[in-house]
Structure 1
Amino acid sequence: MDYIITTKMLTKKYKSFVAVDDISIHIRKGSIYGFLGPNGAGKSTTMKMLLGLVFPTKGSFTIDKKHFPKDRVAILKEIGSLIESPSYYANLTGRENLDIIRRILDLPKSAVDDALDLVNLTEFSDRLAKKYSFGMKQRLGIAGALIGRPPILILDEPTNGLDPAGIHEIRNLIKSLPKLYDCTVLISSHMLSEIELITDDIGILNHGRLLFEGSLDELRKKTISSGFKTGNLEEMFLSMVDEDNLTRKQRNML
Structure 2
Amino acid sequence: MKNIIETHDLTKTYGDFTAVYRLNLHIRRGTVYGFLGPNGAGKSTTMKMFLGLTRPTVGDFTIDGKKYPGDRMEILRRTGSLIEEPAFYGNLSGRENLDIIRRILGLKSSAVDDALELTGLSQFGDRPAKKYSLGMKQRLGLAGALIGRPPLLILDEPTNGLDPVGIHEIRSLIRSLPEKLGCTVLVSSHLLPEIELMADDVGILNRGRLLFEGSMENLRETAAMKGLPSDNLEETFLALVDEDNRKRRPM
Structure 2 residue aligned with 1:3: 3
Whether 1:192 aligns to 2:192 is yes
SS of alignment partner, residue 82 of structure 1: strand
Whether 1:162 aligns to 2:162 is yes
1 CA distance for matches of 2:162 and 2:148?
24
2 CA distance for matches of 1:160 and 1:148?
24
2 CA distance for matches of 1:19 and 1:92?
38
Structure 1 residue aligned with 2:126: 126
Structure 1 residue aligned with 2:59: 59
| Bigger shift: residues 130-139 or 56-65 | 130-139
1 CA distance for matches of 2:178 and 2:210?
25
CA shift, 1:149, in A, is: 1.1
| Bigger shift: residues 134-143 or 48-57 | 134-143
Structure 2 residue aligned with 1:213: 213
CA shift, 1:39, in A, is: 1.0
CA shift, 1:162, in A, is: 2.0
Whether 1:233 aligns to 2:246 is no
TM-score w.r.t. the length of structure 2 is 0.96
Q: Percent identity?
A: 67
Q: CA-to-partner distance for each residue in 1:153-198, whole Å, 9 max, x for gaps?
A: 1111111122222211221111111111111111111111111112
Structure 1 residue aligned with 2:37: 37
2 CA distance for matches of 1:134 and 1:179?
26
2 CA distance for matches of 1:113 and 1:164?
27
TM-score w.r.t. the length of structure 1 is 0.95
Whether 1:247 aligns to 2:247 is yes
Mind listing any 5+ residue stretches in structure 1 that lack a counterpart?
none
Mind listing any 5+ residue stretches in structure 2 that lack a counterpart?
none
2 CA distance for matches of 1:12 and 1:133?
37
1 CA distance for matches of 2:37 and 2:76?
25
1 CA distance for matches of 2:12 and 2:69?
15
1 CA distance for matches of 2:198 and 2:108?
30
Structure 2 residue aligned with 1:19: 19
2 CA distance for matches of 1:120 and 1:2?
31
Amino acid at match of 1:21: Y
1 CA distance for matches of 2:130 and 2:16?
40
2 CA distance for matches of 1:207 and 1:172?
30
SS of alignment partner, residue 11 of structure 1: strand
Amino acid at match of 1:220: R
2 CA distance for matches of 1:165 and 1:113?
24
Q: How much is the aligned-residue C-alpha RMSD, in angstroms?
A: 1.3
1 CA distance for matches of 2:82 and 2:110?
21
Whether 1:223 aligns to 2:199 is no
1 CA distance for matches of 2:180 and 2:138?
21
Structure 2 residue aligned with 1:181: 181
Alignment: residue pair count:
251
Contact 1:138 1:161 in 2 (8 A): no
Amino acid at match of 1:245: N
